[in-house]
Chain A
Amino acid sequence: MELTNMQFGILMLVFGMGLTLLTLYVLCWVMRILTSVFKHNKESAE
């Protein structure tokens, strides 16, 4: 793929930033699901 420097930079910005936020959004949902499925049990913690 032959890209000029500016095309390369913009592509990295869009894909890099976009995919980073998207993956973190997925992780956000994973955390929500985990915390709602495995609730903290006070008695077992004690």
Chain B
Amino acid sequence: MIFLSSDQIITILQGVVSGITALSWQYAVMIIIGLVLIHLGVRYNLEPLLLVPIGFGCILVNLPLAGLMEPHGLLRYFYDAGIITEVFPCLIFLGVGAMTDFSPLLQNPRVILLGGAGQFGIFLTLLLALAAGFEKLEAVCVGIIGACDGPTAIYVTTQFAPHLLGPVSVAAYSYMSLVPLIQPPLMRLCTTKKERSMLMPYTDQKPISTTVKIIFPLAVTIITVLIAPLGAPLMGMLMLGNFLRECGVVERLSRTAQNEIVNIATLLLGLTIGATMNGEIFLTAKTLIIFALGAIAISGDTVAGIYLAKLMNIFSKEKINPLIGSAGISAFPMAARVSHKVGHEENDENYLIMHAMGVNTGGQIGSVLAASIMLAVLQAMGLI
């Protein structure tokens, strides 16, 4: 060109390809991980509502020089507004509460204890994380993967170990989506054929009155927040959502919580969590350890639930199929479906689904409660 020197042309070309030259191996690996997450969501339908935006966010943040997580970057605004403030996880809980029917739990209240056993993995993993060399508050955040509950994991990790937010939240969501693969072998390992074939009748279950359904979320909120006040945002939003559903006079609000609010929050939360997966921060030995501990956490939840169900059978006249114990985690309704499927495979007259749904909704309450109680204990110990 006549009006540009060769040096100027080279400078322009360098500017055009600067993104490519700045692509390090860490960014390249993370872009591949993002593509894998999208593939799992789209091809295998594994938690697509979460894995697709997480995968896309992961790709976006690892494209060099795009600056989406730099100050004034688009994803940084979402991160600061929704994750740092903990608004997104709480909005998701509002929607989850509005979508949850606690009737199966109210028909068989004792199974809520299985929702407590399903939190054993949290504390087991916490111990293992401490043994693996994590700091105390870091170990708490790694342990919370065992809640099998993405929003709770994000809520706790944002407060106490924000540098682990990417690995912890991705591990929590990944293992939630892998429940159908992780749980069945453990369920078969921990039960006999006779136990798996055990029938649970529905004949003694009475319908629940509307008054009970309305009082229940209020009672849970008041009792649990009095015991563990730091869990108020999560439990409060979960139960508010359920109250909107059950009170019957705010149908529009209930529908909005179940649809628009939860959808927008899920999209932005997924995208922003993906954006925390910067290759230079994410690809460390700690991330691998966190993923390994996450697998132990989910396994611990499953085994503890099954064995508590067996223990309850020793002291109770009305026997329960131990398989429903594995549904005491927060992955709803996937864990309940897995319990039903394994029981049905063993005995085709076995319909555990509604019993397992009761345990699964108990697991939702249990996971938030366990996290809240952990925060209360940490506060009492002066660590937070």
A residues with a Cβ closer than 8 A to B are 1, 3, 5-6, 8-13, 15-17, 19-21, 23-32, 34-35, 38-41, 45
Contact yes or no, A27 B127, CB < 8 A: no
Instruction: With both chains docked as a complex, state the minimum distance between the C-beta of A27 and any C-beta of chain B, in angstroms.
Output: 6
Instruction: With both chains docked as a complex, state the minimum distance between the C-beta of A20 and any C-beta of chain B, in angstroms.
Output: 5
B residues within 8 A CB of A26? Answer: 223
Instruction: With both chains docked as a complex, state the minimum distance between the C-beta of B129 and any C-beta of chain A, in angstroms.
Output: 8
Q: Give the distance in Å from the alpha carbon of A18 to the alpha carbon of B236 in the complex.
A: 22
> 18 A–B contact pairs at CB < 8 A?
A1-B381, A3-B381, A5-B130, A12-B140, A12-B374, A13-B123, A15-B373, A16-B377, A17-B120, A17-B123, A19-B227, A23-B223, A23-B369, A27-B223, A29-B109, A31-B109, A32-B109, A41-B209
A residues within 8 A CB of B193? Answer: none
Instruction: With both chains docked as a complex, state the minimum distance between the C-beta of A33 and any C-beta of chain B, in angstroms.
Output: 9
Contact yes or no, B112 A28, CB < 8 A: yes
Q: Quick check: is B167 within 8 A (CB to CB) of the other chain?
A: no
A residues within 8 A CB of B115? Answer: 24
Q: Quick check: is B126 within 8 A (CB to CB) of the other chain?
A: yes
Q: Quick check: is B116 within 8 A (CB to CB) of the other chain?
A: yes
Contact yes or no, B207 A45, CB < 8 A: yes
* Residue in chain A with minimal CB distance to B378: A12
Partner of A16, one of B106, B206, B223, B370: B370
Contact yes or no, A20 B109, CB < 8 A: no
Q: Is the interface of B mostly helix, strand, loop or mixed?
A: helix
Contact yes or no, A38 B212, CB < 8 A: yes
Interface string of B350-384 (1 = CB under 8 A from A): 00000000000010011001100110110001100
B residues within 8 A CB of A45? Answer: 207, 209-210
Q: Quick check: is B156 within 8 A (CB to CB) of the other chain?
A: no
Instruction: With both chains docked as a complex, state the minimum distance between the C-beta of B68 and any C-beta of chain A, in angstroms.
Output: 37
Number of A-B contacts (CB under 8 A): 123
- Count how many chain B residues have C-beta atoms less than 8 Å from C-beta atoms of the other chain: 48
Q: Give B133-189 interface residues, CB cut-off 8 Å to A.
A: 136, 139-140
Given contacts A6-B127, A24-B369, A35-B109, could you give 18 more A-B pairs where the C-beta distance is less than 8 Å? A5-B130, A5-B139, A8-B136, A9-B126, A9-B130, A11-B381, A12-B123, A13-B127, A16-B373, A20-B116, A20-B119, A21-B116, A23-B228, A24-B112, A30-B220, A40-B207, A40-B208, A45-B207
Q: Give the distance in Å from the alpha carbon of A31 to the alpha carbon of B154 in the complex.
A: 30
Contact yes or no, B219 A34, CB < 8 A: yes
Instruction: Please give me the 4 A-B residue pairs with the lowest Cβ-Cβ distance, nearest first.
Output: A31-B109, A9-B127, A38-B211, A13-B123
Instruction: With both chains docked as a complex, state the minimum distance between the C-beta of B206 and any C-beta of chain A, in angstroms.
Output: 6
Instruction: With both chains docked as a complex, state the minimum distance between the C-beta of A43 and any C-beta of chain B, in angstroms.
Output: 12
> Given A21-B113, A24-B113, are A12 and B126 also a contact pair (CB < 8 Å)?
yes
A residues within 8 A CB of B117? Answer: 21
Q: Give B178-222 interface residues, CB cut-off 8 Å to A.
A: 206-212, 215-216, 219-220
* Residue in chain A with minimal CB distance to B367: A20
A residues within 8 A CB of B373? Answer: 15-16, 19-20, 23
Contact yes or no, B113 A28, CB < 8 A: yes
Q: Give the distance in Å from the alpha carbon of A1 to the alpha carbon of B208 in the complex.
A: 47
Contact yes or no, A35 B116, CB < 8 A: no
